[in-house]
Chains A and B, each alone.
Chain A
Amino acid sequence: MALTGLFLYIFLIEHLIANLLLLNNDNGEAYTIYAEVLGSAYNIPLRIIEFGLFFFLLYHATNGTRLWITNRNAKGIHYFVNRASENSTFFSRFMIQSGSVIFIFLVIHLRSFFVHYRLETPDDTMYQGVVKAFENPLYSWFYIIAMILLAFHLVHAFQSAFQTLGLRHNKYTPFIKSFGVIFSILICAGFALIPVYFLYINNTGGH
């Protein structure tokens, strides 16, 4: 979980940087160029990384689900009164729930962008598609909520990955923990900025 999780972290950073191109007030020129280079069938190294990304994502999701099931069975009966909030964070106890919402989000997200612009033959540019999608408040709000849950997931995930790899140190671990929280919130806030931008600030962008 730790290694695949950290890989997915790197992907999120890359994705966020690309998304921020959308905020560039050039009617999507920069973003369109980026989307074309990224999506080009001749970009072999990227196709390989992309394959790895899907593989890691699926592994992370299935292994997480398997862990959740075996761990639930290991517990057996649950307590009648359980004040778990006294000994652990909310985020660490609800990884499967936040993860599941993110997974559903990803299916929808990939359907509207990846499948449409990369596998089908679209009659608009990706930038126009983004603008159109986010004009729908329902879609935008679903996106924002998914990003909040992603932040929940990442707040536990970041420091947990280091712990799993045995990277714990009385001097550095407090830093890793606070860095992880700030970093995770920033990433998710960055992603959530896009629908907010198109919904409330620039809602005429594509026309």
Chain B
Amino acid sequence: MALLNLHLKVWRQKNNEDEGRFVDYNIQDISTEMSILEMLDVLNEKLIKEGQEPVAFEHDCREGICGCCGIFINGRAHGPLKRITTCQLYMRHFKDGETIVLEPWRAKGFPVLKDLMVDRSAFDRIIAAGGFVAVNTGGAPDANAVPIPKHNLEKALDAAECIGCGACVAACKNASAMLFVSAKVSHLVRLPQGKPEREKRVFAMLNQMEKEGFGSCTNTEACSAECPKGISMDVIAQLRREYFRASVRQEKE
């Protein structure tokens, strides 16, 4: 087990009104077995002992399933490795003496709350606008009562892997939430349960995305490359098709 000495350049910002700035820290004896969040825990312990304000960052599960822990690390969303979240990034991927730059997700739709923590409630509002299905009241139907072709099921579950971490928005030069919205649409449209809202959902979610201040997609494919769950660009193409289909089929009310 090797120990690392590191330089950190961390974005510090008191609140949404504060301008924010980088602050440099030196940190010693970091185990290569630690995750980057544990390294930040060590830093925060130190800061608290010294009577300074600890660095705020969001985290919950620390095992890559909740999507809380997005940090822009050394110029990449969730750090330099593919298909992992920040909490799954281990210190063994850094070299002794290296400088690590930590920044919050940058997007108008994700205002910074404090330091490395952004407000991702815009995603909740996009979901509330259309990312739901209607269900009957009463007892739950038998799981095998609704037949779903295996291929559709698997594709739907691929899209459902999205954990809403916002890395797509963070990596996109346009701060577009297209991969997130498309993953949700693709997930629901492939399942029979998602069919009743099919046309309305596309418009509702896209409108909400625009209202929240996210940009539009120019197909750079950065989102998919940085997605910790490897959501494919296929879902965005599917959203386009759903959009055209809905434009034709939706009648004026």
Q: Which residues of A contact B (CB under 8 A)?
A: 67, 70-84, 86-89, 92-93, 95, 156, 159-160, 163-168, 170
Contact = CB atoms under 8 A, between A and B. Distances in A.
A163 B22 contact: no
12 contacts: A71-B173, A74-B176, A75-B107, A80-B9, A80-B22, A83-B76, A84-B222, A86-B80, A87-B225, A92-B221, A166-B241, A168-B234
A83 B244 CA distance: 34
B108 A71 contact: no
A55 to B, nearest CB: 22
Contacts of B9: 80
Contacts of B80: 86
Nearest to B109: A74
Given A84-B173, A164-B240, A166-B241, A79 B218 contact: no
B236 A163 contact: yes
Contact of B238 (A75, A79, A165, A166): A166
B154 to A, nearest CB: 13
A101 B237 CA distance: 29
Interface of B: 9, 11, 22, 72, 74-76, 80, 101, 103, 106-109, 171-176, 213-222, 225-226, 233-234, 236-241, 243-244
Given A74-B107, A83-B74, A92 B240 contact: no
A71 B225 contact: no
Nearest to B235: A168
Contacts of B244: 166
B237 A168 contact: yes
A89 B220 contact: yes
Contact of A165 (B176, B214, B225, B240): B240
Nearest to A74: B215
B218 A160 contact: yes
Of B74, B173, B217, B233, most A-chain CB atoms within 10 Å: B173
Contacts of B11: 80
Contacts of A170: 234
B233 A88 contact: no
A80 B101 contact: yes
B108 A76 contact: yes
B45 to A, nearest CB: 26
Given A164-B240, A167-B237, A74 B108 contact: yes
Nearest to B226: A87
A70 B108 CA distance: 11
Nearest to B111: A76
A75 B76 contact: no
B215 A86 contact: no
B76 A73 contact: no
Nearest to B72: A79
Contact of A163 (B75, B109, B233): B233
Given A74-B174, A80-B22, A84-B173, A92 B220 contact: yes
Contacts of B109: 74
B22 to A, nearest CB: 7
Contacts of A86: 75-76, 80, 225
Nearest to A89: B220
A163 B219 contact: yes
B107 A160 contact: no
Given A81-B74, A164-B240, A75 B101 contact: no
Nearest to A78: B106
A164 B178 CA distance: 12
Nearest to B244: A166
Contacts of A160: 218-219
B40 to A, nearest CB: 17
B72 A88 contact: no
Contacts of A84: 75, 171, 173, 222
A116 B67 CA distance: 61
A87 B171 contact: yes
Contacts of B75: 79, 81-84, 86
Contacts of B103: 79-81
Contacts of A156: 219
